[in-house]
Each structure stands twice: as structure tokens, then as C-alpha cells.
Amino acid sequence: MDTQDALKLKKNHPNDVKIIKSVNEYSAVMLNEHSAEELHHTGLRHGPGYFYETSEKAAIEAIIKANSIQKSKNQSLAKAAVAFEITQDQLVNQSLGLVNNANIDRQIKELENYGTRYHTKSSAKRASTDLKAKWEGLAGNRSDVSVRLVNHSGSPMPSVVMTITGTEKPNEYVVLGGHLDSTSPRDQNNAPGADDNASGIATITEVARVLFSMNYKPKRTVEFMAFAAEEIGLVGSKEIARDYKNRNVNIVSYVQLDMTNYKGSTNDIFITTDSYNSTSLNNFLTRLMDHYNASGTHKITYGTSACNYGCSDHHSFAQQGYETAFPIEAKFRESNPKIHTSGDTSSNFPTANATHAAKFAKLALEYLIEVSNAGGVVNPPTGYCASNGQKTSDEYIGKVALGTINKTSTAGSGGYSDFTAETTNLSKGTSHTITVTPKWSGSTYDEGYAVWIDYNQDKDFADSGELVWSKAASKTTPVSGSFTVPASAKNGSTRMRVSMKYNKIPTACESFEYGEVEDYTVVIGGSGGGDTQAPSAPSGLASSNVAQTTLTLSWTSSTDNVGVTGYDVYKGNTVETSVSGTTANITGLTASTAYTFSVKAKDAAGNVSAASNVINVTTTGGSSDPCAGVPPYSSSETYQPGDRVTYQGSLYERTSTGWTYIGSCGALFARSSTVDLLEDDSMSFDFYPNPVTEDHIEITVNNELWKSGSVLVVDVKGNIVREIRLKNKVTQINTSKFSTGVYFLTLFNGAKSATKQMIIK
């Protein structure tokens, strides 16, 4: 796991966590189930946050190898990045029209109906064998297709792998994968996993169905993978990825589908941009959506988000040096809040009939067809020397701004980031200013800076004048410098390198201990040249689907002499969102409130159009009852900070330390709400002593209700002062800090409850 995560867990659980060894960014750690589950719910993370190993020796070897692989992968990327090309319009467009969201919906529900796919349960193994049979049925009798179960040493559940052998380059693999298992730590017998990750497997299955219906025969080998035991440390994918690496299997690229059907954000698809992923493959996915999904029936909008260490199965392949990407259903803070609970069911999806997941199927088809059937992957003649910072835990480049480049980023893996997909135009004879913002994780340090541009495009930064700016080491932030492109510079695209080094000015091709290097593309033009023509103003702005807190805006596209790259949507005078297409879903509004909206177009050179027509929109009226639509408290749910519940006619919000009383529910809600009592209310639990004269009480829960129950302690003002998740039939509660007075103890079993009065003297 990440060393920073290991240190935080050790601080929170000093007796449960043992850090065996740390090597740079990774640590080998021994931890129990409780601390492992906390790691999953800490920060921006979807998956377990760690790799499972069977011994201390294996864990230490793994982190040493991980550091070695990341370093070698990063150095190779600095020398020759992988590029992907779009050439298969006819086949791709044919495939997009064949996607059937109803098939995905049915498959999600089939997997959900196993009840649980937790890796140790018999139903998990049955899910694997049933999926193998389904995939075999899709392939029919094709001799170039095989489906196999892959058994694992770390789990009784097998993974499923389907292979379509390539016709021209069978030793080059293009892979689409996701995990088949599910989890619900409070009750592993009730882990439906509809979104996490029945949705991903159902999407992959529909992609395979479409390709077989087209009788698609790829030039490169295509593999579909459904992994076992992702939820306990990426067990299945880790074993397969290591096996492929040990056998020198050439995986050209890997894309992960994990959670595809919960539309929690304005945009449809979010590309995870962590340093473990491939920048070139991420850029290719966005280019695919720009090319095939900018408008019309197959329109897809996209953004970026974070995922972090051990996030999902793609990380297993990234750790072996393969190019990986992970598109997900929403921003991570806005993705499905029900995952890893019994509430992860298809009935809780915000959109019906898997229409959201169908967009991932289309992107996956675009990816597979383009990479597996085209010339697809080439090694461009970059030839530039490698340069990187070996350690980025203390400092790295946080932002670079030059012209239309305005790149904010996290630390590149191995201290290098390939941002050559980011471009800006530079005219000759004109002064240009570059701004670099350092990012420190704690203390500030003196940083030196240098920027080079390969003006004559001879694949080096060694010629006179190609060091365009440098700055001696200081703690200044941000730092800026200006330069002028000489008239002798060669027109066209070329490389720019930005480097930040601790305590000294870096050189162009060195590997230094602390800091980071980033590469960009700049386009050299004529004197005072470059695109200066703004797009035309968008027209026909209109609203639809106006609700209490949301609405949809649409408009007629703008034109531009080069090409429109996107639109800024204004709420009043403030940019509310930016989109690549001609519609925008606006969220977070207030009921019964008037708003004004307008739209401006922009192009790659940074030119911005005049504003569209301005429209006035008033959201619909909302309920005056703050409790409307808020579910009652239930002991079967795992609540996160920000979640709200109702309890005995009052509204509460979960915080990191407990529950906050918000206020009383409206009269209508209070009159219509009912409390389901536990059977034999008077006999459901007892506590002693009462009145309380000591510093604790003991609660005894009858009829085994404690196995899935919890107890709330509420004062006479309605404040929830304690919440106790029951683990035993007899539970002791410390009352030494309770003030004297009357309290109410409520035992919950699911949403049903029983309440008794407690007096503190």
C-alpha cells in the first residue's frame, strides 16, 4: 500500500497495524480486517487500497519490485510514449448502433440475484462458472475463441477469461476487464453488488455480444476478464497480471470497467488520472469520445477524477508496467454511496434500464476496435532523453500555465509526467510567459526551475537558446518567467520540457533525487501568428426538464475557423460548468429560485466567443418539510459523513464523530410517519441499573437481535449522544460523561425499533 496510508493507519490503529518495511512510496504492512476496511473508506478511493500477499517475504519482494517497475516504466515513457490512432470509423459506428442497454440491465439483475458474490461463498464460484457458460454461448462455435476459468491461490473463487485470437498479431493483447466478486462487510451473505461490480461485468458482456454479432475478427488478440476477489486486495487480477508478466505476454493496453451504472455527476464518464494510469491511454479515451461521441445519438460527456492506490484491478496491470486506464461512472465523491452494503441493488440506480452503463459499452467498443484492428499503436520517433525526479513525496510540479496550457496535476509516477497531449501555440517574435506552481506535501523547500523548447526539432534540448528560462532555487510560489521565440525556430509541433529540482537548477537529461519533470507540446507559428479568430456565439439557448434542483440547457453549436473545443456555461456572471457538447445538466440549484444562464464557445487557441442569448429560468417549488424524501434510521445501513436520516420526527446528519440534530420534521411528515416496533417490544432488551448511579450500564439484547442491531442514546432535546453498533448479546456503555437527566435508549433491528427510558442521577 501507499506509505502515507500505512503511516495514517498505524497512527489510528497502533495495535492492529504493523509496518514491516517501506521503500519510497510503497510499504509492506500487516493489518487486520477492521483497519483494512477503514483504508477503503479513507480519502478518494474505490477499491481496497492495497495488494494482498500471502507472507511477509512476498510483501517485501512485491514493494521492491513495484518500485523497480514504476521507475523503469517511467523512464521508458520519457523516451518513447505510446500513441494511439483513430482509423476504424466504419466498424466503430456499426458497433455503436448495436448496443442494447436492456441486455446490460438484465445481466446486472442476474448477477444481483446471486445474493452475494463474496469470494468465499459458494454462490461466487457459481457466478464464475455461469458467466463462463454465458460467454461461451455468445461465442458460439468460433474456433478462434476460448473461455477458461483461472484458479487462484488466494481465493476459492476463479476468474473468467475469454480470448479472441488475433488474425495478424496474435501475440499482442488488448484487454477489457472488471471484477466479478462483491462485498458487504456487515453481512457477507447479503452483498448484491449491483453497481460494484455487476454493472461492469454486464457492460463487458454486452460489448462481447456486439462484437460477436458483427462476426468481428481482430488483428490483435482481444481478451475479456472477470476477476475474483478484487474486494480483498486485488487477488485475482494480481495473480493473472504477474503471470502474464512472467510469461512476457505483450499487453498493448488494458481498460478497467468497475461501476458503470450510477450517474451521480453532471458528466457521463470520468477518466481517472492518477499516476498509476497511462497518460497516453487516458488521452486516447478522451479523443475517442471527442471523435465518436461529441453529439447525436451516441453523445457522451466526460471529465476527470482521482482514484488512488489499489483502486481497482487495472492497478495490478499497471504495477507490471502495462498501459492502463480506468473510466468510472461519476466523480469519486459523487459515485454510488451504497456500494459495499446490502443497499447496492438495481432499484437504487438513479437512471432506469442501464442507459448510463450503455455509454461505457460504447466507449469500450471504440477502444477495442480501434486498438485491436487498426495499425493502432505506434512508437513515435520522439528520441528525447529521459529525465525524472526520483522522489516526489515532498515536492512536485503542481501546475504549469503557458498560453492555453493550464495543467494542474498530481505527482507523476517515478517523477515524470507525459503531458504531450497538452498543447499551445507560440508565435515568433512575441514574448510568452510561463508560470510554474510547486506543490509541497508539508514543509516548503528551495526549488530550482528550468524550461527547454526544441526549437529546431532535432530531438534534443542541447542547441543554443533552447533553454528558454531558468530560475535559481527559492521557496517562491508560483514562479514565472518570459521568453521570446526566435525567428529561426522551425514551424510546427515540438517538445517543451519543464523541470523542477530541489535546491538546484536542473539540467535537461538528468535523473535527480527530489522533484519532477513534465513534457508538453508547443506549436511554433509565424510572427505574431497563431489563431486569433474567436468562434461564433452559440444561439438558441433553451432550458428543459426544469425541476426543484436541476435543469437541462441546450443550444445550437458555434462555428470556428479551426474548430470549437468546448463551451463554458454561465450562471449569472460565473462559469457553472464546461462541456464539450451542446447540452449541459445543471445540478445543485435551489427550489423556487430564479436564475439566468448564458453560454460562450472556445477554441484550442483560447479564443472565446461572445455570449449566447440570456435566458431566465425559475426552478419548481419544493417541499417545506426538510425531512421529505429522507429515509428513517436503519441499523442495516453503514452511514457516511453527510448522510441524513429521520428518527422519531426529527432530522439528523451524520458527521465524522456522530450525529448532529438538524431540526424537527414538518407537521405533515410527523403525522404521517410511523415507527415499526420490534415484536414483543417490552422483552426486546433490558439494561441495568436504571436509574443510573454508576459510570456505566449493561444492555442485554434478547432473541439474537444484537446480531444486526444498534442502539441510539438520545437526550430530551432530541440530540443523539451515542450510537453503538452491537457485537455481542451483552454490551457495556460508558455513561460517565452523561449529564444528569432523562435519556431514551432505542434498539434498532433494521428500521424497526424499541425504546426505553433511562434516568441518569
In a domain, 487, yes or no: yes
Residue 301 has pLDDT above 80, yes or no: yes
312-370 confidence digits (pLDDT tens): 888 888 888 888 999 999 987 788 989 989 999 999 999 989 999 999 999 999 999 99
In a domain, 631, yes or no: no
Same domain, 189 and 327: yes
Least reliable range by pLDDT among 115-124, 288-297, 373-382, 448-457: 373-382
Residue 404 has pLDDT above 90, yes or no: no
In a domain, 68, yes or no: no
List of E strands, 68-144: 83-84
Same domain, 486 and 553: no
Same domain, 189 and 310: yes
Residue 413 has pLDDT above 90, yes or no: no
Residue 75 has pLDDT above 60, yes or no: no
What pLDDT sits at residue 49? 54
In a domain, 412, yes or no: yes
What percent helix, strand, coil does the chain show, rounded to 5?
A: 25, 35, 40
Same domain, 457 and 480: yes
Same domain, 521 and 546: no
In a domain, 725, yes or no: yes
Same domain, 348 and 223: yes
Indicate which residues carry an active-site annotation. 179, 196, 230-231, 258, 340
Q: How far apart are CA 710 and CA 635, in angstroms?
A: 6
**pLDDT, mean of residues 544-557:** 90
Least reliable range by pLDDT among 274-283, 386-395, 464-473: 274-283
Helix (H) or strand (E) holding 661: strand 659-664
Q: Which backbone phi and psi does 203 adopt, to 5 degrees? A: -65, -45
In a domain, 676, yes or no: yes
What pLDDT sits at residue 54? 63
**pLDDT, mean of residues 387-405:** 90
137-182 confidence digits (pLDDT tens): 999 889 999 999 999 988 999 999 999 999 988 999 999 999 999 9
**pLDDT, mean of residues 452-479:** 94
Q: Which residue has the higher pLDDT, 239 or 675?
A: 239
Same domain, 693 and 734: yes
Same domain, 599 and 484: no
Residues 6+ apart with CB under 8 A from 503: 445, 446, 447, 448, 473, 514
* 3-state DSSP assignment of residue 405: strand
Same domain, 368 and 295: yes
What pLDDT sits at residue 62? 67
Q: How far apart are CA 230 and CA 179, in angstroms?
A: 6
What pLDDT sits at residue 674? 35
Q: Which backbone phi and psi does 400 adopt, to 5 degrees? A: -130, 130
What pLDDT sits at residue 258? 93
Q: Which domain CATH number covers 701?
A: 2.60.40.3080
Mean pLDDT of the chain: 83
Task: Give whichever of 340-344, 422-426, 570-574, 620-624 has the largest mean pLDDT.
Answer: 340-344
In a domain, 661, yes or no: yes
Q: Final residue of a domain: which of 376, 400, 433? A: 376
Residue 274 has pLDDT above 70, yes or no: no
Quick one: pLDDT band at residue 669, thresholds 50, 70, 90?
Answer: very low
Inter-residue contact 518 to 419 (CB < 8 Å): yes
Buried b (16+ CB within 10 A) or exposed e, 387-408: bbbebbebbbbbbbbbbbbebe
Same domain, 312 and 234: yes
What pLDDT sits at residue 281? 87
Residue 78 has pLDDT above 90, yes or no: no
What pLDDT sits at residue 76? 40
pTM: 0.49
Structural domain of residue 31, as residue ranges? Answer: 3-61
* 3-state DSSP assignment of residue 49: coil
Q: Final residue of a domain: which of 503, 527, 551? A: 527
Quick one: pLDDT band at residue 380, thresholds 50, 70, 90?
Answer: very low
**pLDDT, mean of residues 581-591:** 88
Q: Which domain CATH number covers 565?
A: 2.60.40.10
679-706 confidence digits (pLDDT tens): 444 447 788 898 888 888 988 887 766 7
* C-alpha separations of 13 from 7, 8, 23, 30, 748 in Å: 10, 9, 21, 12, 28
What pLDDT sits at residue 499? 97
512-544 confidence digits (pLDDT tens): 989 999 998 888 874 444 456 778 999 999 999
Q: How far apart are CA 109 and CA 354, in angstroms?
A: 10
Q: Final residue of a domain: which of 480, 503, 527? A: 527
Give me the percent of the chain exceeding a pLDDT of 70: 84
170-217 confidence digits (pLDDT tens): 999 999 999 999 998 888 899 999 999 999 999 999 999 999 989 899
What pLDDT sits at residue 679? 40
* 3-state DSSP assignment of residue 539: strand
Structurally, how many domains does the chain consist of?
5
* C-alpha separations of 671 from 197, 395, 649, 664, 675 in Å: 40, 58, 9, 12, 11
Same domain, 520 and 558: no
Same domain, 48 and 112: no
Residues 6+ apart with CB under 8 A from 101: 353, 354, 355, 357, 358
Q: Which domain CATH number covers 165?
A: 3.40.630.10
Burial class for 271, CB neighbours closer than 10 Å (0-12, 13-18, 19+): buried
